[in-house]
Amino acid sequence: MPSGKAGYVIVKSPSPAFMIGLWNDDRYIKYYERFGYYLTGDYGYKDEEGYLYILGRSDDVIKIAGHRLGVGEIEETAHIPEVAEVAAVSVPDEIKGSSIVIFAVPKEGVTDYEMIKKNIKEKVQKELGKIVDIKEIVIVNKIPHTRTGKIMRRVLRALINNENLGDISTLEDESSIEEVKKALEEIKKL
């Protein structure tokens, strides 16, 4: 796959650390024997220097009007030069089943938030199609992460839907939750 192009992460050579099976279930070894590689279940890309970047789980999908879109694919597409980080989550939609809310962290010095929103929406719809219904683009200074750096999408969904946040003991920075709450309140005022 060309560098910079996102796709499914596979591993061609077996490693002692890879699971070859489960108790009474040998699907992993059968898959390797059939195709000659391990499907990791991750979505990512390699850069020009050969470094691998994991964008997310390939099975983490949002279904919009019968179309299945990977969260990593949406986030990669929504990443424009003016933002440092993006996170995409699904929210219920009466007609299409789901729509998308994108959280974007602008790069330092970028203050034209309307331009960011416009550019993200245009890029996503150009590359993924008009079917991608972006309900809202929320500009924040921080996105909730675990201590290992994973985006806490379930927390973002809970904040959008005014639900219980659940266990947040792995949260890296509690101020990120307040940041998202504040941004969502501003949107509701409009």
Do residues 133 and 43 both lie within one domain? no
Do residues 165 and 75 both lie within one domain? yes
CA atoms of 185 and 190, how far apart (whole Å): 9
For residue 131, which of 66, 80, 82, 177 has the smallest C-alpha distance?
A: 66
Q: What is the mean pLDDT of residues 120-132?
A: 91
| Residue at token pair 């009466």 | 94
Residue 25 lies inside a defined structural domain of this protein: yes
Output the average pLDDT for the chain.
85
Range of the domain at 13: 7-54
Q: What is the mean pLDDT of residues 1-24?
A: 72
**In Å, what is the CA distance from 175 to each residue of 17, 170, 172, 181?**
37, 14, 9, 10
Q: How confident is the model at residue 60 (pLDDT cuts 50, 70, 90)?
A: confident
Do residues 164 and 111 both lie within one domain? yes
Q: What is the mean pLDDT of residues 15-25?
A: 69
Q: What percent of the chain has pLDDT over 90?
A: 41
Of 38-47, 106-115, 152-161, the poorest mean pLDDT is in 38-47
Query: Any catalytic annotation for residue 59?
Result: yes
Q: What is the mean pLDDT of residues 109-116?
A: 95
Of 83-87, 110-114, 148-152, the poorest mean pLDDT is in 148-152
Do residues 171 and 129 both lie within one domain? yes
Do residues 165 and 85 both lie within one domain? yes
Give me the catalytic one of 26, 59, 112, 173.
59
Do residues 42 and 125 both lie within one domain? no
Q: What is the mean pLDDT of residues 34-46?
A: 78
Do residues 72 and 165 both lie within one domain? yes
Do residues 50 and 122 both lie within one domain? no
Residue 2 lies inside a defined structural domain of this protein: no
CA atoms of 188 and 80, how far apart (whole Å): 25
Q: How many CB atoms lie within 10 A of CB 79?
A: 17
Residue 167 lies inside a defined structural domain of this protein: yes
Q: What is the mean pLDDT of residues 92-102?
A: 89
Please tell me the total count of domains within the chain: 2
Report pLDDT for 141.
94
Host H or E run for residue 33: helix 27-35
Global pTM reads 0.74
What's the CATH code of the domain at 78? 3.30.300.30
Q: How confident is the model at residue 46 (pLDDT cuts 50, 70, 90)?
A: confident
Q: How confident is the model at residue 1 (pLDDT cuts 50, 70, 90)?
A: low
Report pLDDT for 16.
64
Do residues 128 and 155 both lie within one domain? yes
First-to-final CA distance of the chain? 44
Do residues 148 and 82 both lie within one domain? yes
Residue 140 lies inside a defined structural domain of this protein: yes
With 0-12 / 13-18 / 19 or more C-beta atoms within 10 angstroms meaning exposed / middle / buried, residue 39 is middle
